[in-house]
Amino acid sequence: MSKIGRIPVQIPKGVSVRYEGGKIFVKGQKGELSMNINPPIDLKIENDKILVINLKPDDRRAKALHGTTRALINNMIKGVVDGYKIELDIAGIGYRADMQGDTLVLKVGYSHLVNFKPPEGVKVGIRSPVRVFVEGIDKQLVGQVAANIRAIKPPDSYKGAGIKYEDEVLNLKPGKAKGKKK
């Protein structure tokens, strides 16, 4: 049995949870999420708690799914209550971000502008011309959209120019040694 999987998931006030047909539905003030539950795992909803039950405790795959399923359900509940937000910084000479409707327009050193349209359920915006935020209720989708934006122009390993996460620490390489003779 997974240590994390044994911990029941608390259901806060204002959140409704249904489990039917192998699918869990979580609804809160920010929206609604659903997820399929894999067969060796079952759920029991009692009072204000969700218990994740491993039906095959000897199966390695089922053990792995036990803790993972519990963590995913917990992330769903946090998402519909608080939501998730990731901030990205743009560094580089002339690098900018702008919004045209719901499309993010990036000027990041290419000969053309890069347009990025976010998928449904995720909001992308700008705080300043060099700061972009991604927010939504689905943790996986918010993280994937932020990774897709970062992949447009990842940070350079010498000067750090490009798009990076707000809290990302870059290990910059030293430049070419100038005038070094033996």
Q: What is the band of 155 on the pLDDT scale with cuts at 50, 70, 90?
A: very high
- Does residue 102 sit in the same domain as residue 31? no
What is the model's pLDDT at position 60?
Answer: 87
Task: Spell out where the chain has E strands.
Answer: 9-10, 16-20, 23-28, 31-36, 41-46, 49-54, 84-91, 96-100, 103-107, 114-116, 122-128, 131-136, 162-165
pTM of structure = 0.89
Share of residues in the chain with pLDDT > 70 (%): 97
Asked if the structure places residue 135 within a domain, the reply is yes
Long-range residue pairs from 99-107, CB within 8 A, at least 24 positions apart, any chain? 99/124, 99/125, 99/126, 104/132, 104/149, 106/149, 106/152, 106/153, 106/163
- Does residue 66 sit in the same domain as residue 15? yes
Q: Report which of residues 2 and 83 the model is more confident about.
A: 83
Average pLDDT taken over every residue of the chain: 92
Asked if the structure places residue 111 within a domain, the reply is yes
Which of 81, 116, 151 is at the close of a domain? 81
Give 44-60 pLDDT, tens digit per residue: 999 899 898 888 888 88
- Does residue 96 sit in the same domain as residue 57? no
- Does residue 158 sit in the same domain as residue 89? yes
Question: Domain range holding 131?
Answer: 84-165
- Does residue 67 sit in the same domain as residue 96? no
- Does residue 95 sit in the same domain as residue 43? no
- Does residue 77 sit in the same domain as residue 136? no
- Does residue 52 sit in the same domain as residue 101? no
